[in-house]
Structure 1
Amino acid sequence: MKTHYDTVLRKMGTLVGLCTFLSLLCCVCADVVERFEDAPGCLEFFYREKVPDWGSSTPNAARICQRFVNRYHFATLYDTKHRIAVYSAYYFQPSNGGGREKRWFVEPQLVDSSWQAEMKDGYWLGQDHPGVYLGENQALNEDYTYSGFDRGHLNPNGHHPVPSRNATFTLTNVIPQNPKLNQNSWRIYESQLTDLFLDTCSKAYVLVGAIPSADNWIIKNDVKRVNIPQRIWNAWCCVDNNGQPVQSGAGSANNTEEDFVEEMSLDEMGEHLQQFSNQPVGELFYNNCRP
Structure 2
Amino acid sequence: MLWLLLLQVLASSLWLGHSEVVTSFEDCPQFFYEETSPNDALNPQNPAWICQRYSSSYHYATLYDRERRIPVYSAYIYRPLSEKIHDSSWFVEPQLIGDNDLKDMETELVLIERYNFTSDQIKASQAVLEDYNQLLGLERGYLNPSGHHDSRDSRKATFTLTNIVPQDSSLYIGQWKHYEFTRMPEKSKGCTTTYVITGAVPGNSYVAQGRVNRPSHIWSAACCLVGTHPTKAWGAIAENDHDQIRILSLGELEARLTEIYEGERVTLFSKACPRK
Shorter-normalised TM range: 0.7 to 0.9
Cα deviations across residues 40-75 of structure 1 (Å, max 9, x unaligned)? xx1000011111114454211000000001010000
Conservation of the 8 A alpha-carbon contact between 2:222 and 2:234:
yes
Cα deviations across residues 106-137 of structure 1 (Å, max 9, x unaligned)? 00121123141110112222223253421110
Conservation of the 8 A alpha-carbon contact between 2:198 and 2:219:
yes
2:144 maps to which of 144, 152, 155: 155
| Secondary structure, counterpart of 1:81 in structure 2 | coil
TM-score by length of 2: 0.86
In 2 relative to 1, CA 123–83 (structure 1 residues): closer, same or farther, beyond 3 Å? same
Q: In the alignment, is residue 84 of structure 1 matched against residue 84 of structure 2?
A: no
Partner in structure 2 of residue 18 of structure 1 = none
Q: How does 1:227-238 map to 2 (within 5 A)?
A: 227-238=213-224
Partner in structure 2 of residue 208 of structure 1 = 198
1:139 maps to which of 127, 136, 140: 127
Partner in structure 2 of residue 17 of structure 1 = none
C-alpha displacement of 1:86: 0.7
Identity %: 37
Partner in structure 2 of residue 171 of structure 1 = 161
| Secondary structure, counterpart of 1:59 in structure 2 | coil
Partner in structure 1 of residue 252 of structure 2 = 268
TM-score by length of 1: 0.82
2:208 maps to which of 194, 205, 219: 219
Conservation of the 8 A alpha-carbon contact between 2:36 and 2:270:
yes
In 2 relative to 1, CA 260–288 (structure 1 residues): closer, same or farther, beyond 3 Å? farther
Letter in 1 for 2:251: D
Count of paired positions: 254
Letter in 2 for 1:281: R
Partner in structure 1 of residue 176 of structure 2 = 186
Partner in structure 2 of residue 99 of structure 1 = 85
Give RMSD over aligned pairs.
Answer: 2.2
Letter in 2 for 1:249: W
1:254 maps to which of 234, 239, 251: 239
In 2 relative to 1, CA 276–32 (structure 1 residues): closer, same or farther, beyond 3 Å? farther
In 2 relative to 1, CA 157–101 (structure 1 residues): closer, same or farther, beyond 3 Å? farther
**Higher mean C-alpha deviation, range 243-252 or range 270-279:** 270-279
- Segments of 4+ in structure 1 off by > 6 A? none
Partner in structure 2 of residue 3 of structure 1 = none
**Higher mean C-alpha deviation, range 232-241 or range 106-115:** 106-115
Letter in 2 for 1:206: V
Letter in 1 for 2:257: L
In 2 relative to 1, CA 113–98 (structure 1 residues): closer, same or farther, beyond 3 Å? farther
Q: In the alignment, is residue 116 of structure 1 matched against residue 77 of structure 2?
A: no
In 2 relative to 1, CA 120–31 (structure 1 residues): closer, same or farther, beyond 3 Å? farther
Whole-Å separation in 2 of the counterparts to 1:98 and 1:189: 18
In 2 relative to 1, CA 32–202 (structure 1 residues): closer, same or farther, beyond 3 Å? farther
Structure 1, unmatched stretches of 5+, are 1-26
Whole-Å separation in 1 of the counterparts to 2:117 and 2:103: 19
Partner in structure 2 of residue 24 of structure 1 = none
| Secondary structure, counterpart of 2:111 in structure 1 | helix
| Secondary structure, counterpart of 1:76 in structure 2 | strand
In 2 relative to 1, CA 31–191 (structure 1 residues): closer, same or farther, beyond 3 Å? farther
Whole-Å separation in 1 of the counterparts to 2:40 and 2:160: 22
Whole-Å separation in 2 of the counterparts to 1:145 and 1:132: 16
| Secondary structure, counterpart of 1:106 in structure 2 | coil
- Of structures 1 and 2, the larger Rg is shown by 1
